[in-house]
Amino acid sequence: MKTRIAAAALFLVSTAAGAQDVTRTLPESVGKVAPALEAYSKNALFGSVWDDEALSVRDRALVTFAALMTRRESDALGEHAALALDAGVTPAELSETVTHLAFYTGWGNATAASEAVAPVFEARGITLQDLPGAEPELLPLDEAAEAAREEFVSGTYGDVSKGVVDNTRELLFRDLWLRPDLAPRDRSLVTVAALIAAGQPEQMTFHLGRAMDNGLTQEEAGAMLSHLAFYAGWPKVFSALPVAKDVFESRKK
């Protein structure tokens, strides 16, 4: 095992942007406090999970960022933002991820994420000119899909909170989800990752189905679940597995 751990310590993830050392995201303090955790990190997580081609390194970096933001692990966000940029996530995509997840994890989490990412952007010379504006030209709306979603939500919850129903329609599905600087597949990817990390599998059915409609494959979704077990914890992933199974099976009918 020691040989494998030593090899894993030198493990480099190859990306389009060049070889990136994922082990840099593990603080030195871990080895001083929990040597076994350091070994699991370098051997199992960095040396196996991150190397699994079922999900690209770029997507893994984006999913990890989304999970850490959801869990408000601000101390780790800066390093993972840098890793995501090195893995091919653009500054615009990272900016949109923060904005998007404000609606799904809360404004406080998005504010904390912005504070963590700002020094990374500054160090790399990323300015406002590199980031999406407040009012871009939106992507086309899928009128039929939106009508079906609106009919269900309005009919089910319109008498409970008209404000939630109206804001969901106008702010989320007729605005946020149509912003062009984060592809629909990636918006779905980070949304599902956030729901898993937050322990809210009851919301996954719609969003995982939408993710697969937007191009996420079953293999990629399964790999995302395996990846998130390390970043969100096994219990949250096991709570999500029955939902994923139902979504996968429903799409085979």
Structure confidence by residue, pLDDT tens digits, 84-94: 999 999 999 99
Question: What pTM was estimated for this model as a whole?
Answer: 0.91
CA gap 41, 30 in Å, rounded: 10
Structure confidence by residue, pLDDT tens digits, 103-162: 999 999 999 999 999 999 999 999 999 999 999 999 999 999 999 999 999 999 999 999
Structure confidence by residue, pLDDT tens digits, 103-114: 999 999 999 999
Indicate the pLDDT class of residue 235, thresholds 50, 70 and 90: very high
Indicate the pLDDT class of residue 2, thresholds 50, 70 and 90: very low
Residue 125: per-residue pLDDT: 98
Structure confidence by residue, pLDDT tens digits, 33-86: 999 999 999 999 999 999 999 999 999 999 999 999 999 999 999 999 999 999
Structure confidence by residue, pLDDT tens digits, 237-253: 999 999 999 999 999 87
Residue 21: per-residue pLDDT: 82
Of the CA atoms within 13 Å of residue 172, those in its CB half-sphere come to: 18
Residue 253: per-residue pLDDT: 77
